[in-house]
Amino acid sequence: MNIIVLFGPPGSGKGTQAEILAKKFQLKHVSTGDLFRYNMKNDTKLGLDAKSYIDNGKLVPDELTTEMLKDELQRNSDQKGFILDGYPRTTSQAEALDVLLKELFQAEVNVTLALYVDDEVLVQRILKRSLDSGRSDDADENIIRNRIKEYYEKTAIVSDYYKDQNKLVELKGEGSIEEITRSLSEEIEKVV
Ligand code: AMP
């Protein structure tokens, strides 16, 4: 079982790249943001519980998020691997992921690929994306800036967790989609 983590701030291109790479390497793309949006759209209890956090650009509490991820991994246990997009976002999620992967699949994260993009580029990219995404958290600049703040306050530190295990590869997230796919693919090919 191969587990690739795509890491980076909102708007760094994780979702776009995860979709392409999942097809290329036959991995199941799991986006916790997409799972939350699905639950909100369908008015599930989880969707209702998560909504106020998401609408304010805050992280959803770890327990809710990890439970949702666990369900999704279990539901897809026939897959040959996963590309995780948007999880883990806190050190406690990273620790929970290790436990889950071991418990469910006797597996571990192969590599964490971190994309770095200038903050102002992130804001502009997300505002542009809002024209198609229909996401209310993409359309408001204050919410976008809150999401970036959450990233620096709670998520950026997660890179140390993987660096300490020699599992972190840092890449420039600016350039054409194809260029970035190429550099991510080279790193994935080294570990799968
Ligand atoms: P994304 O689509 O990855 O940008 O996620 C959209 C929103 O969903 C985030 O701003 C958070 O509110 C929530 N979210 C997604 N993944 C996580 C996570 N791993 N931990 C906490 N909240 C999350």
In sequence order, the β-bridge partners of residue 124 are none
**Ligand 1 neighbours (beta carbon < 6 A):** 10, 32-33, 36, 53-54, 57-60, 65, 86-87, 89, 93, 137, 147
Does the pTM surpass 0.95? The reply is yes
Cis preceding-peptide flag for 10 (omega within 30 of 0): no
Edge-to-edge strand list for the sheet holding 168-172 = 28-31, 81-85, 2-7, 111-116, 168-172
Mean pLDDT, residues 56-81 taken together: 97
At 190 the pLDDT is 97
Q: Enumerate the domain spans of the chain.
A: 2-117+158-189
pLDDT band for position 124 (50/70/90)?
very high
Going from the Cα of 57 to the center of ligand 1, the distance in angstroms, rounded, reads 8
**H or E element: which one contains 12?**
none
Pick the CATH number of 2-117+158-189 from 3.60.15.10, 3.40.50.300, 3.40.50.10540, 3.30.1280.10: 3.40.50.300
At 169 the pLDDT is 98
Task: Say if CB 186 and CB 21 are below 8 A apart.
Answer: no
In angstroms, the CA 154 to CA 162 distance is: 15
